[in-house]
Amino acid sequence: MRAWQIERRKRTRHLIELGGLVVKTGIVDLTGDDRAIIYGALLWMADKLRSDEREKVLALWTAKGKEAFEDGRSVGIDTHA
């Protein structure tokens, strides 16, 4: 296999994993799979990361993400209920 093929497969896997996170959060179902809404939400996140609030939102989002991964949470289901 050629180097460019290996790099393409790595990139494809990375994109699939990122898409999986979007699905795992339930955003796809909650928005009715509306790509404009999802893209708008991602743009809002990018704006927050470019703002003076960067460190605050990184800490908040990191904590929430780690907690969800540890709990095995998916699609907004609270496993502690």
pLDDT, tens digit, 9 for 90 and up, residues 17-74: 999 999 999 999 999 999 999 999 999 999 999 999 999 999 999 999 999 999 987 6
Domain range enclosing 22: 1-31
Is residue 79 very low, low, confident or very high in pLDDT (cuts 50, 70, 90)? very low
The number of distinct structural domains making up the chain is: 2
pLDDT of residue 81: 38
Claim to verify: residue 18 and residue 42 sit in the same structural domain: no
Residues 16, 40: one domain? no
Rounded to two decimals, the pTM is 0.77
In a domain, 78, yes or no: no
Spacing of C-alpha 21 from chain mean position? 5
Q: Is there a single domain that holds both residue 40 and residue 13?
A: no
Q: What pLDDT score was predicted for residue 1?
A: 86
Q: State which H helix or E strand residue 24 sits in.
A: helix 3-24
Identify whether residues 48 and 25 lie together within a single domain.
Answer: no
Say yes or no: 27 and 51 in one domain. no
Q: Is residue 79 part of a domain?
A: no
Q: What is the pLDDT, as a whole number, of residue 54?
A: 98
